[in-house]
């Protein structure tokens, strides 16, 4: 079961890194970010909701994916579950922001939310 957490964490890290790289490229060149669903990723990521406590959400995500993979594979399941719960609540908040507040969607953000929900589900299927 831990291999699933590690794979999801790796996919999440790659997704967050790609989103961060794409947004930096948009800021520096003005070239619009690619969105799988034709949404406006740049508007979502570049909004005031794109940072938490002054830190870009993509960087927080990359840190989360590394932490969750290390903690879960090291046997710190309770701490992993708490961290996954916090990430899930934050993900659902960001989904609300995209759909209700901004009324714009970012495919990469939606992928991150799906990965976070899958990590949460996978961890809570594991007994402590």
pLDDT for the residue numbered 127 = 62
With a pLDDT cut of 90, the percent of the chain lying above it is 93
Instruction: State the total domains in the chain.
Output: 1
For the domain that residue 51 is a member of, what is the CATH number? 1.20.1440.130
Q: What is the pLDDT of residues 73-99, one digit of tens each?
A: 999 999 999 999 999 999 999 999 999
- What is the value of pTM for the model shown? 0.93
Asked whether the predicted pLDDT for residue 27 surpasses 70, the reply is yes
Phi, psi at residue 41, to the nearest 5°? -60, -40
Residues 6+ apart with CB under 8 A from 41: 19, 22, 23, 33, 34, 35, 106, 107, 108, 109
Mean pLDDT of 109-117: 98
pLDDT for the residue numbered 25 = 95
Domain that residue 89 falls in:
2-124
């Amino acid at each position: 079961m831990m291999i699933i957490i590690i794979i999801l964490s790796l996919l999440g890290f790659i997704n967050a890194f790609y989103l961060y790289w794409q947004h930096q490229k948009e800021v520096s060149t003005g070239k619009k970010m690619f969105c799988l669903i034709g949404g406006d990723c740049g508007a979502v990521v570049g909004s005031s909701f794109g940072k938490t406590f002054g830190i870009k959400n993509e960087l927080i995500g990359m840190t989360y994916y590394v932490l969750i993979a290390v903690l879960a594979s090291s046997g710190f399941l309770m701490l992993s579950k708490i961290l996954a719960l916090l990430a899930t609540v934050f993900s659902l908040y960001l989904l609300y922001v995209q759909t209700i507040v901004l009324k714009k969607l970012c495919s990469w953000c939606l992928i991150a939310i799906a990965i976070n929900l899958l990590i949460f589900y996978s961890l809570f299927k594991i007994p402590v």
